[in-house]
């Protein structure tokens, strides 16, 4: 009798509860073995997905500490490269939330060597584009350093480099956050300003009055601040409407008592930035401004359909998805507010979600888009967005590729629960509205995680697949074979040099992708560059010697 040695020790079939012999696999939070991403991928995951809200396996604090450690290692390995990456991701609007970039930049400015610190401080205007970002940067910096000359100079430059009109806008719109205000920063940084910029700054620190509004031309930078003061004294909604029309006051400058008035919102809507528009759709509906077939609805639909404006606004797809889900629900997340969603607005938000990703030409490859719908994916948040789980978000992400690539097949998989094999086709397509799709996926039964199932599913059904995309947290543990081994089986049996993309939906260090296999790629879920990254990767024909076909 022979002992089945290879049953116990094989590089081709290994249970996920053990590492593949000779590989660099590590144990994940679920007790299974997978690969780890390098610190640069980890940096991208943190910048795009953040750690707010934690994950199914880690508290917000633990996840933040782990991510910050990875950022620190990047800073130590190559500080200027780290700063450049932070600035690029932030500036291109690739992340749903700018806070992780602001935090990482403060870390680099505090913990880097001299060259890194000066690169980080020089990048402040690129990463901190609004007063709110700047307050966040100063707050985070205090965790790493004191108020040295470099920090004072960087904050001073943020004010000094602004056109007076833009400076006035920042002073009026973003008054304070996290205990910091322009008054504090202007006092601390001792920046020397001249002319109207100096008058605006003096006003902000409470040292200078403003000329009367009637004495100022509307083009005068100080007119915006005088109008802001006039709004505080306004006696009627008509006064507010006139100030908005003449001076371009934004919602943050309007006293709360006027924000229940439809005529005020009608005036605000005219020049409202897109981000503010999608955040205020419910309010504008509740006050009666947005009503079916109304003129204001037409303006909102036109604004959301203007792709050039959408691109310039840096409005992130996640913001649109969240706005769509909240608006469609007809009730506020926090409070008692209710409204009747206008269908045209819902459809416009749905279309804008797809348009907010970079446009790409289809590769015409055969795609299997596989959603990990296991329990942990329902227990992890994306970018700290309340009520949006990683499994719901991954459905929306899959539809972005489905909308571009005609040859696609979408499945959901979990260790058991639906389908004999734990994987089943999902009846979703870009023709369905995203709020309905995410709700449907959110309601699927859940079970243990086996990320080899997409490849086993394709083998069993004899599906021809060029690219497997697995949307997951890589906390895989429940399979008789590792995902990379299943992929190699698939390549061998079909002769297709199939590729695997791991769409990381949680900012942890885990991945299914073998870093030594050029046919596997890590991408961060909800990076707006996902369509380009997938397209380029899928189109590369030459995988060199590292396809895993020769072992
Ligand atoms: Ca799981």
SS3 511: strand
Q: How far is CA 252 from the centre of its chain?
A: 24
Distance CA 451, CA 519 (A): 17
Q: Could you give the domains of the chain?
A: 26-38+361-539 (3.40.50.410), 210-258 (no CATH), 272-315+317-355 (no CATH)
Distance CA 181, CA 104 (A): 21
365, 404 in Cβ contact below 8 A?
no
Å from CA of 490 to ligand 1 middle? 23
294: phi > 0 → left, psi -120 to 50 → alpha, else beta; which? beta
SS3 355: helix
Q: Cβ of 209: how many Cβ atoms within 10 Å?
A: 11
Å from CA of 44 to ligand 1 middle? 22
Å from CA of 445 to ligand 1 middle? 12
Strand partners, 218: none
Å from CA of 393 to ligand 1 middle? 15
Å from CA of 391 to ligand 1 middle? 10
User: Which of 257, 260, 230, 225 has the alpha carbon at shortest distance from 243?
Assistant: 230
Å from CA of 105 to ligand 1 middle? 32
Å from CA of 472 to ligand 1 middle? 8
Residue 529 token pair: 């560059």
Distance CA 359, CA 179 (A): 40
Å from CA of 448 to ligand 1 middle? 6
Residue 81 has what pLDDT?
Answer: 98
The two most distant CA atoms of the chain are separated, in Å, by 103
SS3 224: helix
Residues 6+ apart with CB under 8 A from 47: 85, 86, 89, 90, 94, 95, 100, 101, 104
User: Which of 535, 421, 337, 487 has the alpha carbon at shortest distance from 411?
Assistant: 421
Residue 545 has what pLDDT?
Answer: 38
R_g (Cα) of the chain, nearest Å = 26
Residue 446 has what pLDDT?
Answer: 84
pLDDT digits (tens), the chain, 551 positions: 566 777 778 889 999 999 999 999 999 999 999 999 999 999 999 999 999 988 989 999 999 999 999 999 999 999 999 999 999 999 999 999 999 999 999 999 999 999 999 999 999 999 999 999 999 999 999 999 888 999 999 999 999 999 999 999 999 999 888 899 999 999 999 999 999 999 999 999 999 889 999 999 989 999 999 999 999 999 999 999 999 999 999 999 999 999 999 999 999 999 999 999 999 999 999 999 999 999 999 999 999 999 999 999 999 999 999 999 999 999 886 666 899 999 999 999 999 999 999 889 999 999 999 999 998 999 888 888 877 899 999 999 999 999 999 999 999 998 864 444 689 999 999 999 999 999 999 888 888 999 999 999 999 999 999 999 999 999 999 999 999 999 999 999 999 999 999 999 999 999 999 999 999 999 999 999 999 999 999 998 755 434 433 22
């Amino acid at each position: 009798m022979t002992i089945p040695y290879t049953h116990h020790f094989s590089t081709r079939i290994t249970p996920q509860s053990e590492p593949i012999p000779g590989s660099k696999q590590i144990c994940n939070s679920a007790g299974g073995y997978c690969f780890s991403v390098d610190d640069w991928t980890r940096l991208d995951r943190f910048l795009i997905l953040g750690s707010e809200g934690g994950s199914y396996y880690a508290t917000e604090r633990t996840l933040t500490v782990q991510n910050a450690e990875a950022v620190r290692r990047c800073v130590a390995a190559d500080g200027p490269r780290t700063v450049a990456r932070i600035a690029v991701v932030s500036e291109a609007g690739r992340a749903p939330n700018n806070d992780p970039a602001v935090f990482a930049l403060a870390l680099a400015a505090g913990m880097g060597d001299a060259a890194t610190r000066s690169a980080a401080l020089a990048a402040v205007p690129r990463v901190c584009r609004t007063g709110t970002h700047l307050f966040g940067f100063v707050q985070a910096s205090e965790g790493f350093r004191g108020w040295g000359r470099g920090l004072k100079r960087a904050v001073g430059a943020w004010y000094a480099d602004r056109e007076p009109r833009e400076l006035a806008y920042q002073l009026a719109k973003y008054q304070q956050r996290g205990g910091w205000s322009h008054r504090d920063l202007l006092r601390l940084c001792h920046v020397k300003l001249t002319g109207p910029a100096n008058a605006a700054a003096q006003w902000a620190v409470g040292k200078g009055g403003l000329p009367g509004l009637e004495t100022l031309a509307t083009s005068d930078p100080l007119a915006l601040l005088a109008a802001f003061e006039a709004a505080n004294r306004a006696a009627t909604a008509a006064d507010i409407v006139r100030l908005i029309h003449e001076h371009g006051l934004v919602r943050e400058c309007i006293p709360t008592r006027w924000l229940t008035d439809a005529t005020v919102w009608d005036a605000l809507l005219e020049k409202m930035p897109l981000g503010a528009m999608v955040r205020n759709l419910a309010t504008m509906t509740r006050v009666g401004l947005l009503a079916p077939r109304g003129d204001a609805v037409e303006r909102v639909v036109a604004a959301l359909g203007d792709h050039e404006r959408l691109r310039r606004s840096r409005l992130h797809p996640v913001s649109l998805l969240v706005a769509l889900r909240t608006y469609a629900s007809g009730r506020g997340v926090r409070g008692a507010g209710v409204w009747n969603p206008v269908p045209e607005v819902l459809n416009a938000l749905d279309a804008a979600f797809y348009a907010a990703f970079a446009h790409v030409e289809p590769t015409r490859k055969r795609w299997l888009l596989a959603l990990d719908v296991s329990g942990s994916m329902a227990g992890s948040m994306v970018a700290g967005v309340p009520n949006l789980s990683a499994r719901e978000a991954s459905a929306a992400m899959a539809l972005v590729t489905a909308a571009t690539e005609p040859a696609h097949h979408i499945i959901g998989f979990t260790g058991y629960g639906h389908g004999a094999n734990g994987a089943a086709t999902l009846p979703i397509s870009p023709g369905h509205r995203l709020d309905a799709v995410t709700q449907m996926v959110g309601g699927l039964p859940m079970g243990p995680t086996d990320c080899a199932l997409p490849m086993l599913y394709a083998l069993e059904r004899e599906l021809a697949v060029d690219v497997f995309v697995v949307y997951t947290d890589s906390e895989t543990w429940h399979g008789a074979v590792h995902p990379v081994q299943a992929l190699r089986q698939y390549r061998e049996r079909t002769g297709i040099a199939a590729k695997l993309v791991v769409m990381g939906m949680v900012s942890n260090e885990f991945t299914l992708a073998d870093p030594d296999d050029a046919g596997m790629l890590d991408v961060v879920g909800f990076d707006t560059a996902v369509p380009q990254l997938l397209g380029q990767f899928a189109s590369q024909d030459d995988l060199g010697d590292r396809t895993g076909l020769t072992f």
